[in-house]
Amino acid sequence: MTGSLNALFAATVLFVGAHFLLSGQALRGPLAERLGEQGFRALYSVVGLASFLWMLAAYRDAPLVAVWQPPPALAWVPLVVMPFALWLAVAGVTASSPTMVGGEARLADPGVHDPAPGMFRVTRHPFLWGAALWAASHLLVNGDAASILLMGAILVLSLGGMRHIDQRREALGAAWGPVKLTTSAIPFAAILAGRTTMDWKGLGWWRPVLALALYAALLHAHPWLMGVSALPG
């Protein structure tokens, strides 16, 4: 199950494939009908968590096979990028989102006057952009095969997931219209196009503070979690 690059490859294929397949209507519809919406979400969560843990275990036990040697200067990239990645991720999981699992209910609620507040004015996929930034910044500083597989898988899932979610939401018809018109998948695109404005109040002062606290904690725990310091040198 672990200890080889083949095991890691299988785990990443399951992790990425399960997300796309289970969220696709071809499987989601019949499974939700049979298990109920709550049952389907439980299945989705269990499969996602199990494949993620297997992927992490396989990554930890994978042999070190060098593919390329990143220049030392690139070691600063994650240090600069990660505060923003964590802010996006925190915003994505601490606010009701029309693009997260169960977000259809928010779109259908007539009492919701602002379907995309706060960070969702910047991008309607803040959590996925946070994950994508984490993966991309760490790909630049890890030149071994196992890291390329793991971080490449998360990058593919994050970027591909945005398009996949938007395509599914199109099926909601008019309920999706206000979100589509006033938000963008690409960060700041809707703001720059004049389709919305920054919602400073909705961002919340505590979210960037929490992101910075997580950043400090991860820097401190990085040697224990990953076996190497996150600081250059």
pLDDT of 112-137, one tens digit each?
567 788 999 999 999 999 999 999 99
The pLDDT, as a whole number, for residue 113 is 61
What is the spatial distance between Cα 119 and Cα 201, in angstroms, rounded to a whole number?
A: 10
The pLDDT, as a whole number, for residue 102 is 60
The pLDDT, as a whole number, for residue 123 is 96
If one counts the domains in the chain, the total is 2
Quick check: is 231 in a domain?
A: no
> In terms of domains, do 198 and 83 share one?
yes
Compute, in degrees rounded to 10, the torsion defined by CA atoms 118, 119, 123, 127.
-130
Residue-range definition of the domain harbouring residue 209: 67-226
The pLDDT, as a whole number, for residue 208 is 96
The pLDDT, as a whole number, for residue 103 is 59
Residue count of the chain, please give it. 233
The token pair that represents 35 in the structure block = 């298990």
> In terms of domains, do 160 and 217 share one?
yes
The pLDDT, as a whole number, for residue 101 is 65
> In terms of domains, do 75 and 57 share one?
no
Q: How many CB atoms lie within 10 A of CB 88?
A: 26
What is the spatial distance between Cα 209 and Cα 121, in angstroms, rounded to a whole number?
A: 19
> In terms of domains, do 103 and 124 share one?
yes
Is there a contact between 9 and 149 (Cβ–Cβ < 8 Å)?
Answer: yes
The pLDDT, as a whole number, for residue 54 is 95
> In terms of domains, do 108 and 172 share one?
yes
The pLDDT, as a whole number, for residue 64 is 92
SS3 45: helix
Quick check: is 107 in a domain?
A: yes
- Boundary (domain end) residue, out of 33, 63, 93: 63
The pLDDT, as a whole number, for residue 211 is 97
The pLDDT, as a whole number, for residue 155 is 97
> In terms of domains, do 3 and 58 share one?
yes
What is the spatial distance between Cα 79 and Cα 131, in angstroms, rounded to a whole number?
A: 15
Which segments in the chain show pLDDT lower than 70? Answer: 101-113
The pLDDT, as a whole number, for residue 36 is 86
